[in-house]
Every structure is written in C-alpha cells, then in structure tokens.
C-alpha cells in the first residue's frame, strides 16, 4: 500500500484511564479525534489506551512523541486521586510541576461565578509542568496544557472536544484526502484480486475493503482515498465496475459511510 | 493506587486497521474484550490501535507480548490486499508463513457447502505461521490463529466475538473483582479528599471517580472495586456517606453502570 505522503503531519493519541480497560467505559475520544484530524489533513498513526499508572503513562508519552509530530492525551487531569496525568507528563519531559498563577486565576474566576470556593482538591487542577501553555476549557474551567508537541486534554468527551476546538487555530494542517465509498454486496474475497491490481495501477491511491459487522456477507464497502481527487474518483468508478463484473449493483458516495459502531 | 494482585493474568490488545484511525470506523472490539476479560479475572493492561503497516504491527506485537501474559489482535486476516496481519505475526516470531492443510480443508468445506470455489484470494486465508494453532470461526469459516501467547482474531465484531468464545475454555482465569457503583451527583472535586482517605485506609480497594459526559456536574459515579467483596461493599457504603455529608443522596448498584459510550 502506498504510504500517505509525508507532507501530512502525523499525530498519536494516548487515552488514559482504568475505566477504559476494565469494560466500564467505551472510549469515545479516539474516534472523534481520528475524524477531526483527518478533516485537517493530519494522519493519526497510533492510539494507545493505558491505565492510571505513572510509569506506563511516562513511557507511552515518550514513545509516541518520538513516533508522531503531535501527541494528544485524554483523561486524568481532574481533581481526584486517580488524576495523575500532569505529574506523568512532567516526568516524561523531566520538568518540575508546580502551581500556575494563570491557571489558579482561571479556576478562581470560574468557581467565584458559581459562588463556590477553590478547595485544595480543585487547586490541584492548577498544577502544570514548567513552561506549559494552558488550553482553554469552555465547559468546566480547569484548563488543559500543552508541553512541547504534547496536548494534554480532559477525558470527559464534551471537554475533550471543546479543548480540541480551542487549539484548532494553532495546528498546522496538511492536504485533505478525497474519499469515495463504493457500496455493493457480497464476500470481499470476490473482489480481492481486482483491488490489488487497481491499487498497484493508480499512484497515490489507498483502498480499504470493509465487510459488514455480521461477517456473513451482505453489504460490502470499498473505500478509495487519495490526495488526488481525480484518482479517488476514477478508482471508485473502477470498483463499481469490479462489482458489476460479479453481477452486483454498486453505488458510490463521497466520504465515509459508517453503518454502525463496528470495527 | 493499589495495583491489582499479580495473581490475575494480564492481557494486551492490538487492533489493526487504517479505518480505525481515519475516522471511518469506531472500534468496537477493545471495549468488548475489556469486559469479557474482566469477567474472567484477567487484567487488560493496554490497547494499541495501529495502521495496516507491517513494521508497526511487528513492533507492537513484540512490545505487547513482553508486557502482558496474553495478546489479542483484531483485524487484517481477511482475503484482501490490506490483510497483512498473518505475515506480520510470522515476522514478529521469526517464523515462516505457509499454507496450512488443516486451514485449507476448513475453507474448502465451508465454501463447498455454499457451492462456491476456494479462489486464490480465499486460499490466502489458509496461510499461517509455522506451528500456529487454528482458532475456529463459526461465522465465516476462515480460522484465526494462536502463535505462542498471541491470539490473532478477525476484526469484524461478530467474528471477533465468536473466536473469543471458541478459545474461552483454554484461557487461565484469575479471581474476579467485586464492583459497586455509587451513583450520586455534583462535581467530583467535592469528594476528592474523602476518596483519597478511603483508598488509603482500605487494603486492596481501587476507587474510580467518573463525572458524566457533559463535564457540567450532574450525575457523578464512584466505582469501588476489590478482590475482597466485603471491602468493596464497605467502601461503597462509605462513599454513600461522603455524598450525604455533601447534602447529596446517593445509591449503590452492583457492577458497572455505563450511562453512554463516553470516556
């Protein structure tokens, strides 16, 4: 398969939280981030989910920032005892962590408006690694932080999403892919050889083949992606032809067509 | 936080597929596996999602099998050009990959029943690393494989789940956690100090604090987990007390209570 051209920046994500690994919570942030980055011409190259474990977070952050231009973390920046991400990020960069006056002011203003005090637990959320930039949190006050190329965001989806919007302007974008989904039917094995030939023949084309979630045939989607819109379109037409050669009617839709939350 | 006792086996997961990283597909298998393993007393310690990239798969499998007793992979074992997992697993173990007579027989029987031929593309699904054990696929024929401690499963959720059921009998189980969810309301910062004190006071207790998805207060769940059912129950009672001390009524439910697919 052709790799995406290197002019698209790369990103990785680290989702932090025991609840994501014991079956309690199905992570929502990785999927949101994936689509959000793709729309901005940025390639998400890896996601990791780890526990609230200091060493595991430190090692994962350091692995991922070697692998990708940008790293996004989610989770573990709240006021409770299981919120250990800030200290782990400090350790990953070998930076001391201390209370930020600017962050404390933000928290004071936020809670003052609600007529509440900044308790010791809340005050923990003003601690940042030295030199970190703050990321505004329009939902619940307590800011995220950026240290170098690592964006440290909240795990609560509404806050995670709001923090992404807050940093949107500062991210360097790459060229967007044009995507066509060809929707047909039948087992993917019938098209396999044709798809190989097609991908080899067209430079800059990436093809994905996605059977439905039942595994028993039925709908089959072939996704054609390229930085070159003409290549993606011609590939989709060719895939429609492959379906027809198998006696199956197919139609093409621009973009992704997710049938259900399946893998 | 107390670590889970080492008598629980550990597991890691590697989900493979470009579609999981470009926004097309929201992975469903990691969440299913997490709950499935927890019910069997096995700790899922890390999940990684990577692209259909040979080197990335090889490196990730080798990292994860050093970290955990068991590794589960999903995706990339179908008949099309983007199905490269089997070769990557062979490379990770430095084992040659070749056609398995047993696997080919399974495919032949499966397609014969449907009156279809085993085409070259389908025949690819009979290739396995040397010495691999086959994992039955009750949904669509083509087997998964086990190599050492690595279980190589399909990405289509219905097939992934069926393959897990097929290997259930051979997995060594650990002791199960008892879980109570205490459901109250309000910002988690109000309970933070009490939760720290509680977790320190009770041996073998793990507490998680989970605000709702909006980030604007409202429902708050505190989850108490322990291998000792009495510890989990007494902790839940104590947490109800913490809520009441803040003027909030709370009630306790056994197990996890997921409000929505949020992180």
Name the CATH code of domain B10-170 (choices 3.60.21.10, 3.60.10.10, 3.40.50.300, 3.40.980.10): 3.40.980.10
Q: What's the rounded Cα separation, in Å, for the pair A125 and A116? A: 15
Of the CA atoms within 13 Å of residue A168, those in its CB half-sphere come to 13
Sign of the dihedral defined by the CA atoms of residues B129, B133, B137, B141, in that order: positive
Q: Would you say domain A178-254 falls under CATH 3.30.365.10?
A: no
pLDDT digits (tens, 9 = 90+) for B99-142: 999 999 999 999 999 898 999 889 999 999 999 999 999 998 99
With a CB cutoff of 8 Å and minimum separation 6, the contacts of A197 are none
Question: Which of A 150-189 lie inside 8 A of B, CB atoms?
Answer: 154-160, 162, 177, 187-189
pLDDT digits (tens, 9 = 90+) for B50-101: 999 999 999 999 999 999 999 999 999 998 888 999 999 999 999 999 999 9
ipTM, interface predicted TM-score of the complex:
0.94
Start and end residues for every CATH 3.30.70.360 domain found in chain A = 178-254
Strand partners, A12: A46, A71
pLDDT at position B213 is 73
CB B154 within 8 A of CB B163: yes
What are the structure tokens assigned to A229, written together? 């819109």
Which residues in B lie closer than 8 A to residue A25 (C-beta atoms)? 210, 258, 262-263
A56 touching B (Cβ < 8 Å): yes
Say whether B166 sits in a helix, a strand or coil: helix
**DSSP label at residue B169:** G
- Whether B48 sits inside 8 A of A46 (CB atoms) is yes
Residue B227's alpha-carbon distances to A25, B11, B32, in angstroms, are: 20, 18, 22
Start and end residues for every CATH 3.40.980.10 domain found in chain B = 10-170
Which residues in B lie closer than 8 A to residue A58 (C-beta atoms)? none
pLDDT digits (tens, 9 = 90+) for A163-220: 999 999 999 999 999 999 999 998 888 898 899 999 999 999 999 999 887 777 789 9
Q: Give the chain B residue nearest A15 (alpha carbons).
A: B263
Interior angle at CA B63, CA B57 and CA B67, nearest 5: 135
With a CB cutoff of 8 Å and minimum separation 6, the contacts of B200 are none
Question: Which of A 119-148 lie inside 8 A of B, CB atoms?
Answer: 119-122, 124-125, 139-140
Q: Which of B181, B178, B175, B176 is nearest to B256 (CA)?
A: B181
The total of other beta-carbon atoms located within 10 Å of residue B75's CB is: 29
């Amino acid at each position: 398969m052709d790799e995406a051209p290197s002019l698209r920046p790369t990103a990785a994500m680290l989702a932090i939280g025991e609840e994501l690994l014991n079956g309690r919570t199905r992570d929502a942030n990785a999927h949101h981030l994936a689509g959000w980055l793709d729309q901005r011409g940025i390639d998400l190259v890896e996601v990791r989910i780890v526990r609230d474990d200091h060493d595991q977070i430190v090692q994962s952050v350091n692995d991922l920032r070697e692998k990708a231009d940008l790293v996004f973390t989610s989770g573990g920046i709240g006021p409770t005892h299981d919120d250990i991400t800030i200290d782990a990020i400090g350790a990953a960069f070998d930076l001391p962590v201390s209370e930020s006056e600017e962050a404390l002011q933000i928290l004071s203003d936020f809670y003052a408006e609600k007529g509440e005090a900044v308790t010791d637990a809340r005050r923990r959320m003003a601690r940042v690694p030295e030199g970190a930039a703050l990321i505004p949190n329009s939902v619940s006050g307590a800011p995220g932080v950026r240290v170098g190329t690592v964006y440290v965001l909240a795990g609560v989806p509404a806050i995670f999403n709001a923090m992404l919007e807050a940093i949107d302007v500062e991210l360097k974008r790459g060229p967007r892919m044009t995507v066509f989904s060809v929707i047909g039917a039948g087992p993917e094995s019938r098209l396999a050889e044709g798809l190989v030939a097609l991908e080899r023949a067209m430079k800059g084309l990436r093809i994905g083949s996605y059977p439905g979630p039942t595994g028993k045939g039925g709908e089959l989607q072939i996704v054609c992606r390229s930085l070159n819109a003409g290549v993606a379109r011609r590939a989709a037409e060719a895939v429609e032809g492959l379906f027809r050669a198998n006696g199956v009617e197919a139609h093409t839709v621009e973009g992704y067509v997710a049938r259900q939350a399946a893998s």
